Each structure stands twice: as structure tokens, then as C-alpha cells.
């Protein structure tokens, strides 16, 4: 694919804040955006030229969407395989490719890919039955974490197993769904790489960042991660290896645990722009959103140089009620997502504090 000309239509699956920020950056480069989402009045649709409100299994709507757009991307990894198939059968170019999306939907396949690429992880085992779980606990031991293979995010679909006796209860709490048992990682901290791979195979990572979670949801991202110099090259190399193995196009995120001895263990990948990359909107020339649009449009990747230190804080639920205070802070760059209801746990916006 040659570079998409300005005026081309970029299709985005999903109407949330990631789609919204992608749409705005696409528009800034002269593209029109078509949002496909089941949600009426979505945050992304309100900043886009066109919207299709339809289910992800609506073959007719998907085919029409595919015909309207020059390329399709997504704001979330849980795109049903059938959705991607219909889009491709209708002639759409889909970036990232369906294999990358499918892998990221299945914690087992993801971990197996990491292993095949020599990317270290916590010990893990496949759990389909109570017997599997018992066997896995024998090998991996407790404490450990049981996670559904599919559809987990922000700490959902997970159960911690502190001792062997909690196994059945934990399995029941995730609905006895197909799962993975992961050995508990006594990590020192979590970092992530947000990087992009272009259609020409070029690769560019933003600075390694450190992430702080609260209640299983990202609370803050520190850019750069303290002590990044010692680990960034290794983290970037893992991410590049992963992106190349997937023949990936777009922004990809790799979350890593940093162990007390400095070793890096891959936690999970996200085949998309990521909350831990929001700081790039204010502290880099080109944000992760522009970078993703550039990649999927076949444009050259932009510089990922960090212009100053930054800290991103998520505004979750009622946090966003502080907009008046935040808007008056001269060091705070406020971003609100246009969501109607500040439900508990809902990401309503974020604020980035620059440290020039």
C-alpha cells in the first residue's frame, strides 16, 4: 500500500476515548474519519465525519463500512474474529492485522508467542477444568493469579489465589471460563513500551514509562520511567521482536514487570494505542494517536522524541468533577472525553503535568 492521500477515509472500530483521540489526530492530518460502534452518541462519533451505529456482527453494516473506508483500525483488541473476516472479505485493509488482534484476545496464545520469541514471562499454565487448575497449582504454586483467557481488562476476570485451598472458589469467581494460571510475580514496578511499526517495517518507540495502578486500573504514568536507561533497550527490543513476528502495523504496547534484579517479564500486549501513552499528546511532537494514524496510512513514522518529563494521571469516575481546579492549574494539560455519565471506574479524562 502506498501512502494514503489526505482526504481519504479512515475507519475506526469503537466509539470510546481512544477512537476519539485517534479521530482528532486523523483529522489534523487531513483525513476524514468513519466510526463504527454499537453505541449511540459515542465520544468518538462526536468528533468524526461519519458514524455507523451497528453491532459488530452486522454483516451488512460492516460490508458498507468496509466499502466506505480506505483502511480500518480499532480502538480495542476484542474485535470478534468474524468482524475482521467480514471486513477483509468486503475488501477492507485492516491494521493491525487480524492475527495480532486474535493473539491479544487470548492470554494463552499471547504468552505462548512471548515464549516462542524468547520474551520472558511469569510461569503460566492453561486451565480449562478444575483438574487443570489443581495440576497447574502443583507446578506453579501459590500465590498465583487465575485469569480468563478472553475479555479481561482493567483487572476484570481475574482472581488471586493465595493458597491451594482457594482454587475452586477462584475458578467459580471467573465463571469457570477457559483460563490461564500465572505464577505471582513479586515485581518491583510495571513499565510499558508504546511503539509503532510502519508499513515499511520501520520501528519507533516512545520513551519507556512507569505505570501505577489502583484497583486494577491505571492511575498514573511517569515519563520517562525512573532508571529507564538500564532497561529501555531490552524492553524496546522485545517490543520490536513482537511487532515483527506479528508483521504488525500501527501502535503496539507491551506491558512489562521489572523484577528486583532488573529482569523484565512481559505481562501483556495491547495491539493499539494505550492509556500509558496519553502523555505523548503533550510531551512529544507527535502523539501516539498521530503515530498510529501515520502507520496505518502508510506514512513515515514521526519522531518519538520526548520534549520534557511528564506525568499522566487518569481521571476516573468522579475525579473529573475537579475540572474547575484542574483547568486552573497552569502546569496541567486537561483532556476530557465527552462521556455523559461519570460512573465509578469509568475513564472520564486524563491530565498530564509537564516538567520542563
For the bound state, the minimum distance from the C-beta of residue 95 to a copy of itself, rounded and expressed in Å, comes to: 17
One residue of 113, 286, 310, 312 binding a copy of itself per CB under 8 A: 286
Q: Is 354 in the site for a copy of itself (CB under 8 A)?
A: yes
- Residue 302 phi/psi, 5-degree rounding, is -85, 165
One residue of 6, 216, 262, 345 binding a copy of itself per CB under 8 A: 6
Quick one: how far is CA 252 from the chain centroid? 7
For the bound state, the minimum distance from the C-beta of residue 313 to a copy of itself, rounded and expressed in Å, comes to: 16
5: Cα within 13 Å, side-chain hemisphere: 1
Q: Is 223 in the site for a copy of itself (CB under 8 A)?
A: no
Is residue 149 within 8 Å of residue 177, measured between CB atoms? Answer: yes
Q: Is 98 in the site for a copy of itself (CB under 8 A)?
A: no
For the bound state, the minimum distance from the C-beta of residue 223 to a copy of itself, rounded and expressed in Å, comes to: 16
Nearest-angstrom CA–CA distance, 44 and 51: 9
Q: Is 32 in the site for a copy of itself (CB under 8 A)?
A: yes
153 vs 299, beta carbon nearer a copy of itself: 299
29 vs 234, beta carbon nearer a copy of itself: 29
- Residue 269 phi/psi, 5-degree rounding, is -110, 155
- Contacts with a copy of itself by CB under 8 A: the residue count is 45
Residues in the chain: 356
For the bound state, the minimum distance from the C-beta of residue 200 to a copy of itself, rounded and expressed in Å, comes to: 11
Site for a copy of itself in 288-347 (CB under 8 A): 294, 299-300, 302-303, 307-308, 320, 323-324, 327-328, 330-331, 333-338, 340
Q: Is 40 in the site for a copy of itself (CB under 8 A)?
A: no
- Residue 354 phi/psi, 5-degree rounding, is -90, 145
146 vs 301, beta carbon nearer a copy of itself: 301
- Residue 177 phi/psi, 5-degree rounding, is -75, 155
Contacts with 110 (C-beta within 8 Å, 6 or more apart), sequence order:
103, 104, 268, 269
For the bound state, the minimum distance from the C-beta of residue 64 to a copy of itself, rounded and expressed in Å, comes to: 19
One residue of 3, 151, 229, 318 binding a copy of itself per CB under 8 A: 3
For the bound state, the minimum distance from the C-beta of residue 121 to a copy of itself, rounded and expressed in Å, comes to: 35
Nearest-angstrom CA–CA distance, 312 and 351: 6
Q: Is 201 in the site for a copy of itself (CB under 8 A)?
A: no
3 vs 229, beta carbon nearer a copy of itself: 3
- Residue 332 phi/psi, 5-degree rounding, is -100, 125
Nearest-angstrom CA–CA distance, 150 and 155: 12
50 vs 150, beta carbon nearer a copy of itself: 50
Give the largest Cα separation in the chain, rounded: 60
Is residue 95 within 8 Å of residue 296, measured between CB atoms? Answer: yes
What sign results for the dihedral spanned by CA atoms 217, 223, 225, 231? positive
For the bound state, the minimum distance from the C-beta of residue 302 to a copy of itself, rounded and expressed in Å, comes to: 7
152 vs 349, beta carbon nearer a copy of itself: 349
Nearest-angstrom CA–CA distance, 114 and 225: 23
Q: In sequence order, which ranges of 69-195 are alpha helices (DSSP H)?
A: 81-89, 98-104, 107-116, 130-140, 167-173
Q: Is 47 in the site for a copy of itself (CB under 8 A)?
A: yes
Q: Where do contacts with a copy of itself occur on this chain (CB under 8 A)?
A: 3, 5-7, 20, 23-24, 27-32, 45-49, 282, 285-286, 294, 299-300, 302-303, 307-308, 320, 323-324, 327-328, 330-331, 333-338, 340, 349, 354, 356
Amino acid at each position: 500500500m502506498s501512502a494514503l492521500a489526505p482526504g481519504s477515509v479512515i475507519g475506526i472500530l469503537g466509539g470510546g476515548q481512544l477512537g476519539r483521540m485517534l479521530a482528532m489526530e486523523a483529522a489534523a492530518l487531513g483525513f476524514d474519519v468513519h466510526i463504527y460502534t454499537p453505541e449511540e452518541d459515542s465520544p468518538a462519533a462526536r468528533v468524526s465525519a461519519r458514524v455507523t451505529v451497528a453491532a459488530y456482527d452486522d454483516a451488512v453494516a460492516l460490508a458498507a463500512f468496509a466499502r466506505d473506508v480506505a483502511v480500518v483500525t480499532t480502538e480495542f483488541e476484542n474485535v470478534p474474529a468474524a468482524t475482521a473476516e467480514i471486513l477483509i472479505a468486503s475488501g477492507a485493509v485492516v491494521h493491525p492485522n487480524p492475527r495480532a488482534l486474535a493473539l491479544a484476545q487470548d492470554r494463552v496464545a499471547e504468552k505462548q508467542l512471548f515464549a516462542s520469541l524468547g520474551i520472558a514471562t511469569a510461569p503460566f499454565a492453561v486451565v480449562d477444568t478444575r483438574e487443570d487448575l489443581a495440576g497447574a497449582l502443583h507446578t506453579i504454586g501459590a500465590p498465583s493469579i487465575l485469569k480468563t483467557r478472553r475479555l479481561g481488562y482493567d483487572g476484570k476476570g481475574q482472581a488471586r489465589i493465595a493458597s491451594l485451598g482457594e482454587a475452586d472458589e477462584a475458578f467459580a469467581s471467573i465463571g469457570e471460563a477457559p483460563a490461564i494460571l500465572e505464577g505471582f510475580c513479586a515485581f518491583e514496578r510495571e513499565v510499558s513500551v508504546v511503539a509503532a511499526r510502519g508499513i515499511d517495517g520501520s520501528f519507533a518507540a516512545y520513551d519507556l514509562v512507569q505505570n501505577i495502578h489502583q484497583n486494577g486500573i491505571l492511575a498514573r504514568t511517569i515519563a520517562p520511567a525512573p532508571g529507564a536507561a538500564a532497561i529501555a533497550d531490552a524492553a524496546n527490543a522485545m517490543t520490536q521482536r513482537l511487532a515483527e513476528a506479528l508483521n504488525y502495523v500501527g501502535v503496539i504496547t507491551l506491558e512489562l514487570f521489572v523484577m528486583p534484579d532488573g529482569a523484565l517479564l512481559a505481562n501483556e500486549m495491547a495491539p493499539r494505542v494505550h492509556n500509558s501513552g496519553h502523555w505523548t499528546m503533550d510531551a512529544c511532537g507527535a502523539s501516539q494517536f498521530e503515530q498510529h494514524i501515520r502507520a496505518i496510512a502508510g506514512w513515515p513514522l514521526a519522531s518519538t522524541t520526548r520534549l520534557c518529563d511528564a506525568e499522566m494521571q487518569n481521571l476516573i469516575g468522579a475525579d473529573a468533577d475537579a475540572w474547575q481546579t484542574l483547568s486552573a492549574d497552569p502546569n496541567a494539560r486537561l483532556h476530557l472525553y465527552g462521556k455523559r455519565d461519570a460512573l465509578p471506574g469509568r475513564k472520564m479524562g486524563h491530565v498530564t503535568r509537564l516538567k520542563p
